[in-house]
Chains A and B, each alone.
Chain A
Amino acid sequence: MDFYLGLLQIMGVHTLLGLSAYVVLQTGQVSLAQAGFMAIGAYIAAMLTVLSGWPLIAALIAGALVAGLTACLVGFPALRVHGLMLVVATIAFTEIVRLFFFNFDYQIARGSLRVGPLGGEGFRQIRYFPENGWTTLHVAIFIGTVVALVMAALWWMDRSRAGAVLRAVGEDEIAAQSCGINLTAVKVSAMTAGGAIAGLAGGLYAHYTTHIEQSNFTILLATFAIAYPILGGLSSVFGTVAAVIFIQGFLVEGLRFLGDWRNLLFGALIVLVMNIRPSGLLDARTMATLRRLFSRKEH
């Protein structure tokens, strides 16, 4: 049972990470900075609960805010670069953050223990959940609730004018400007929102694993972050969830019995899926069909 609850926790955090990239991708920006934002959220939230004794939710919100603020600052220079150049620039950002935490020591004495981040050793003993008597089930439910809230907010945004504006910018910046859209405001807002969601994912991740270190937040993680929404299709938040279930649930865990061959099949299956469904698992057409099916049932 604990195995499946653990898997749910992983999938929850990865869904948030994927959604953080989903928002940014809608404006046509491919950002590999999401792993960096997640690292910031993870370290800030963990330091607040462990070192300052903050309650969890306040610490998670603070982590998300700091990550969002950082993303806002990254968003401005990111406006000037497009496509591959943006990819390279955001990879650099994720690496800067990772190397920062590789060198970052801030420990205080707590009884006989010293707690806090310690460079390459990482940040151990983030024991908020066990100390407060949360079981794996509680944690899984908590993460599930956060994911559901973020998904609901983004689903709502998708259907609002704001969602249409984000997509309009992603499709054609010149036409968007000519339709009265302020590109700077839209792209920076998307980056900020994405950063905050990634920061939230980081805070949750730090607390359920109890141990984080710089090597958790590499470019590979950033690649996963953009792979989920791209593989899932950018027309709906459910695509991202479907891709997380496919990759984390099926490819990573479901194929474990294959041993070392798993990794080979992993890559091959992603390529296969992208060939069969080039615009994502749940593309615009599938979503339209689903919507029609459901609306017919209502009448």
Chain B
Amino acid sequence: MLELSKLSKHFGGVRAVNDVGLKIEPGQIFGLIGPNGSGKSTTVNLITGLLGVTHGSIKLAGEEITNLPTHVRLETGIARTFQNIRLFGQLTVWQNLWVAENARAQRERSSFLSRWLGGERGARARITRALEFSGLADKADELAANLAFGEQRRLELARALAAEPKLLLLDEPAAGMNPEEIGALDDRIRQIRDSGITVLLIEHHMELIMAIADRIAVLNFGQKIAEGTPAEVQAHPAVREAYLGAAD
């Protein structure tokens, strides 16, 4: 689904991401972990186009997307959530999804008028479905800023799903959540995968990621130091060293 090859991002002398290669198969939950500052968020920003690559390439379902502008990437099928929630606070919950659903309409080339002015019936159904999936159906007319923290996280997820992406990037979706909410998140991510969306999950919460990821890659200082199933990664000496420090 997603293929990164020799992906690099240098900020001056700092190699935030260096020669990272990844291949994510369709229908997988792929985990990306690493200590703070290891280049995870930079990788996400490269995949979504918020940062330009220094060199290397990004392919989505075989198509080269390395140089596409950010807003076109959602049309090609990449949606994301943010580590620090970025909702449109003064828009209602419904409007937050309505804005993002436009990318799908664009992908299917629906007519200008129905896209911008009308309450297109298909869009309405899709947004309602995304809201129900995230347990926000009764909050549709609430301003996003007035939601509780957990609801805001769910809304961000719903917004990402509203455009019906092929690949969903989740940047630390469990940050700040209590165990109960993490349990619900675990279920939701599995359901998303089962509905046919490939998931790239970046997470600090090891319990969650080890439980649901089909495959995990570990970054440290901008480089990939290990990749494999959760069990393989946990047993990998380089990973232990990166997380626990070398036994010197």
Residues of A at the B interface (CB closer than 8 Å) are 156, 160-162, 164-165, 167-168, 171-172, 174-183, 235, 284
Contact = CB atoms under 8 A, between A and B. Distances in A.
Given A175-B88, A182-B71, A165 B102 contact: yes
23 contacts: A160-B116, A160-B117, A161-B117, A162-B116, A164-B88, A164-B98, A164-B99, A165-B99, A168-B88, A171-B89, A172-B86, A172-B87, A175-B86, A176-B99, A177-B71, A178-B50, A179-B74, A179-B102, A179-B103, A179-B159, A180-B74, A182-B69, A284-B143
Given A161-B116, A178-B70, A181-B102, 13 more contacts: A162-B117, A164-B95, A168-B91, A171-B91, A174-B86, A175-B82, A176-B99, A177-B70, A178-B48, A178-B74, A178-B80, A181-B99, A284-B143
Contacts of A174: 50, 86
Nearest to A163: B95
Contacts of A164: 88, 91, 95, 98-99
Contacts of B159: 179
Nearest to B104: A180
Q: Is the interface of A mostly helix, strand, loop or mixed?
A: helix
A176 B159 CA distance: 11
B75 interface: yes
B115 interface: yes
Contacts of B102: 161, 165, 179-181
Interface in B68-125: 69-72, 74-75, 79-80, 82, 86-91, 95-96, 98-100, 102-103, 106, 115-117
A171 B90 contact: yes
Given A160-B117, A161-B117, A174-B50, A179 B90 contact: no
Nearest to B165: A180
B185 interface: no
Nearest to A186: B71
B98 A161 contact: yes
A179 B100 contact: yes
B58 interface: no
Contacts of A165: 99, 102
B174 interface: no
Nearest to A182: B71
B71 A180 contact: yes
A168 B106 CA distance: 17
A23 to B, nearest CB: 15
B87 A175 contact: yes
B163 interface: yes
A119 to B, nearest CB: 44
Nearest to A175: B86
A179 B88 CA distance: 11
B174 to A, nearest CB: 20
Interface string B43-54: 000001010000
B128 to A, nearest CB: 15
Nearest to B116: A162
Given A164-B98, A165-B102, A180 B88 contact: no
Contacts of A171: 88-91
B204 to A, nearest CB: 21
Given A160-B116, A161-B115, A177-B50, A167 B90 contact: yes
Chain A CB count within 10 A is highest, among B74, B80, B96, B102, for: B102
Nearest to A166: B99
A284 B92 CA distance: 10
A165 B100 CA distance: 9
A168 B50 contact: no
A180 B106 contact: yes
A162 B115 CA distance: 9
